[in-house]
Amino acid sequence: MTTNGATNGEVPEPSGDAVDCAPISDPALSKDASRRKPKKAELTFAILGCSLVFVIAVFFGLSWISSQVLSRLQFAQTVKVGMDIESLLSAVDRYAVNNGGAYPATLEVLVVPDEKGETYLKAQRQLPLDPWGNEYVYFAPGEGAPPRIVSYGRDGKPGGEGEDADIDSAKLRRD
């Protein structure tokens, strides 16, 4: 006999204590709770939440990429100005050598063809413009001072910071 009074293979008789055998109705306690289908509103909310996270991530990614591109563009513009200024200074120096040490009064003479059809700026018929579409400013040499060529930057005005900063041949030659 077992402790509940049943013999081997027999069903014990009720002892008077009632046992509740009703099915579990609480979904949190049910084995099938994890298989419950989500409601349409829950799915919509989840999709919107994921979409919002994705849009924010894309926004920050594009912001970072655009800042990198803009800094590279600004660097490229500065390099172009430096190359243009060096080319113009070289042409001004060649002009002075060919004219007994006299420097030109303006840059325009550098693009006027000579009797052979050549210019001091390697066959260019126009003076280059800086990356912002402004003309380079030329200062003829003074007493003991070399010629200077300046780009006034994006705003085309003396002074400024960042892209509006001046790029001066005197500073380029010191660096």
Please write the tens of the pLDDT for every residue from 33-45. Answer: 567 777 888 888 8
Q: Rounded CA gap, 75 and 71, in Å?
A: 6
pLDDT band at 30 (very low <50, low <70, confident <90, very high): low
Domain ranges in the chain?
75-174
Q: What is the reported pLDDT for 70? A: 81
Label the pairing between strands 137-139 and 148-151. Answer: antiparallel
Residues 6+ apart with CB under 8 A from 12: 2, 4, 5, 6
31, pLDDT greater than 70: no
Please, which pLDDT band fits residue 129 given cuts at 50, 70 and 90?
Answer: very high
The model's pTM? 0.63
Give the separation between CA 174 and CA 99, rounded to whole angstroms.
27
Summarised one tens digit per residue, pLDDT across range 144-162 is: 889 999 999 999 999 999 8
> Does pLDDT of 108 surpass 90?
yes
- Please, what is the end-to-end C-alpha distance for the chain in angstroms? 105
Instruction: Give the mean model confidence (pLDDT) for residues 135-144.
Output: 91
Residue 2 in this model has a pLDDT that exceeds 60: no
- Which two tokens mark 99? 């004219």
pLDDT > 70? residue 122? yes
Q: Write down the pLDDT at residue 43.
A: 82
Could you say which of 3.30.700.10, 3.50.50.60, 1.10.443.10, 3.30.420.40 is the CATH number of the domain covering 75-174? 3.30.700.10
Which residue type occupies 40? K
- Tokens representing 175 are 């660096």
The answer to whether the beta carbons of residues 93 and 87 sit under 8 Å apart is no
> Binning pLDDT at 50, 70 and 90, where does residue 12 land?
low
In the numeric block, which tokens belong to residue 48?
């919107």
The pLDDT of residue 37: 75
Confidence at residue 86, expressed as pLDDT on a 0 to 100 scale? 94
Across 64-89, average pLDDT: 89
Mean pLDDT of 55-81: 87
SS3 at position 147 = coil
Query: Starting from the edge strand earliest in sequence, which strands make up the sheet with 137-139, in order?
Result: 137-139, 148-151, 167-168
- List the beta bridge partners of residue 168: 150
